[in-house]
Amino acid sequence: MTETQKFIPVAEPLLIGNESKYVNDCINSGWVSSLGKYVRDFEQQFAGYCGGKYGVATFNGTVAIHLLAATLGIGPGDEVIMPSLTYVATANGIRYTGATPVFVESETETWNIDPATVEQAITPRTKAIMAVHLYGHPANMDALRAIADAHNLWLLEDAAEAHGATCNGRRVGALGDASIFSFYGNKIITTGEGGIIVTNNQAWAERAYFLENQGRYNTDPYFHPEIAYNYRMTNIQAAIGLAQLEKIDHMLAIRQKNAAHYNQRLAEVPGLTLPPQAGWATNVYWMYSVLVQDEFGPTRDELRAQLRQAGIDSRPFFYPVHTLPMYNTGQSLPVAEDLGRRGINLPSGATLTPDQVDYICDTLISIHKAY
């Protein structure tokens, strides 16, 4: 069996820097819980990387969304507008507060929230717009900013899939009023499990820190004036994250190179729509994703089964959240639904080699030709 014939995963973490050195430092020093220098360093450096002032690290991305909503005082009776085509955590994190996620359409250009449909969904109960930078391509933040400002709404970013992506040359994460990231094992950089809130708003950062620390002030550790949470990141997670952040440019470059290679090999294949790349954005290709159109031959799911037989892992796109049982609104969002049906994520991690990309493309092309 040659290297390229082994099972190729969709994503795999690349841990080639100071991860073990920093983790060992946690263990040798005894600072394995959520106190310790790596947490504060990671918060500051990651926020700085995004162009933001404050970072509040959490134990995963989902709780970062809940913590952000709780920090803003979002709750029952409030509405937050978001794209339906996203990972379920975007909706769940808002729903945990009792607020209502309001789902809107995706645009064909970027596969992200369609600003025109946001405007139509605003009601007197709307508190915020939550943009999601799906699969690594930024949402149209300029258009969303104009709408948010015109209606006096907060603009939030779920940037869990887009560390380092840019809009008009500025990194995501500090383009909205606050953002969240995930550091799950398959994300652009990882802490195992992990998340963070990034914001320029000092009062929000302090409030988030208070709420994730069981509602305590440093001056009086057992006086808890409110029901709050333990959502803290551990020093071990942050140690891994700091080492990952040192290598983020390297890891982004690998993804860009692999995506360019995929694009070049797949451009002429009939019935495949390649990933978005708006002129004003850089896509970090968290996932290298294509749409399987009817002209390709086999359906998306038939293609996935054949790739699997050739040792190539893939993922279907998310189900648009408005079609999941607990959120089923009976809405019709044809663009999001079509993307959800046709989209496939091909192997995309930073461990992927050019030979593997060639093997995946050869396999895709032969599946098309055999049909």
Q: Residue numbers of the site for ligand PLP (CB under 6 A)?
A: 60-62, 86-87, 89-90, 132, 158, 160-161, 182, 184, 195
Shortest distance, position 271 Cβ to ligand PLP, whole Å = 27
Residue nearest to ligand PLP (CB): 61
Helix (H) or strand (E) holding 337: helix 334-342
Shortest distance, position 73 Cβ to ligand PLP, whole Å = 21
Q: Which is nearer to ligand PLP, 115 or 195 (CB)?
A: 195
Q: Which is nearer to ligand PLP, 14 or 272 (CB)?
A: 14
Shortest distance, position 185 Cβ to ligand PLP, whole Å = 9
Sole residue written with tokens 């990952």: 244
**Residue 333 near residue 322, CB atoms below 8 Å:** yes
- CA quadruple 260, 264, 265, 270: dihedral sign: positive
Q: Which is nearer to ligand PLP, 65 or 357 (CB)?
A: 65
- 181 by Cβ neighbours in 10 Å (0-12 / 13-18 / 19+) ranks as buried
Q: Which is nearer to ligand PLP, 262 or 286 (CB)?
A: 286
Shortest distance, position 305 Cβ to ligand PLP, whole Å = 24
Alpha carbons within 13 angstroms on the beta-carbon side of residue 339 total 26
Shortest distance, position 366 Cβ to ligand PLP, whole Å = 31
Q: Which is nearer to ligand PLP, 74 or 266 (CB)?
A: 74
Which amino acid would we find at residue 1? M
Kindly give the pairing relationship between strand 54-58 and strand 170-171. unpaired
Sole residue written with tokens 């749409």: 291
- Taking each continuous run of H as one helix and of E as one strand, the counts in the chain are 12, 14
Q: Which is nearer to ligand PLP, 323 or 363 (CB)?
A: 323
Shortest distance, position 66 Cβ to ligand PLP, whole Å = 10
Q: Which is nearer to ligand PLP, 134 or 367 (CB)?
A: 134
> How far is residue 186 CA from its own chain's centroid?
10
Annotate 293-327 with three-state secondary structure: CHHHCCCHHHHHHHHHHCCECCEECCCCHHHCHHH
Shortest distance, position 132 Cβ to ligand PLP, whole Å = 5
